[in-house]
Structure 1
């Protein structure tokens, strides 16, 4: 049995096969650079985004949850949900050559309905990519 937040593979909810690669950020320095860039908060998460200057067209994404989110089980569940949302949304709405960091929020990331979580990330990306600061 699949978890309720897993997308239904038969309903066509898989992301399109685009030529955008997603890489996971792991270096602290990359997270710190993103922390100094643009931010957009939603009910479920904080999204930080910056355009890289290295010319690499891949979208890089990082995930983090502080201990305020809960114990290790709660933090890992929140990060799993954010990873799945990023896998579905970033290939179509993210921009090539950008770094994104998704930060989980206390109680909201793990408990929010999955469709609302996707909407939150879409909203945050639209606001990050708008010309307004």
Structure 2
């Protein structure tokens, strides 16, 4: 099973089917006959480097176990970490991944989030602004 490393592959997977669970979001996207591939994304919102690396190790083990038997053929599978995934029970996450893969196989994805894109926190003054009001 191959690992996704190129940013373009992750962006393409983002256009695919999305299945949300409490500890992660699973993306599944057809990859034109390149077999089962997987990728993992954990952002800095989740925690420091120790926490993010622990989550990635757990996801890697989950995917290696489950994708061989339950993964979608010729699809890219991307797991995106959520805040609740670090302290979540490993057996429970394994069950949730099985459910998520089953939903993806049936084409039952979740609706896209309403947030949509990045939002500026600084009032639109650009990067590096200290956001102080100038009299």
- Distance of 1:82 and 1:60 partners within structure 2: 14
- Distance of 1:96 and 1:127 partners within structure 2: 14
Deviations 1:42-84 (A, max 9, x none): 011000001122x23x210000101110001100000100000
Q: Whose Rg is larger?
A: 2
- Within the candidate set 86, 93, 104, 1:117 is matched to 93
- Distance of 1:83 and 1:31 partners within structure 2: 16
- Distance of 2:48 and 2:107 partners within structure 1: 38
Q: Is the Cα–Cα contact under 8 Å of residues 36 and 73 in structure 2 kept in the other structure?
A: yes
Q: Which runs of 5+ in 1 are unaligned?
A: 1-21
Alignment TM-score, normalising by the size of structure 1? 0.78
How many pairs were matched up? 109
Secondary structure, in 3 states, of the residue corresponding to 2:45? helix
1:131 shift after superposition: 3.7
Match of 1:96 in 2: 73
Are residues 131 and 45 of structure 1, via their aligned partners in 2, closer, same or farther at CA, if it must alter by over 3 Å?
A: closer
Say which structure is richer in helix: 1
Alignment TM-score, normalising by the size of structure 2? 0.77
Q: Which runs of 5+ in 2 are unaligned?
A: 110-135
**Following TM superposition, where does structure 1 have runs of at least 4 consecutive aligned residues deviating by more than 2 angstroms?**
none
RMSD: 1.1
1:132 shift after superposition: 4.1
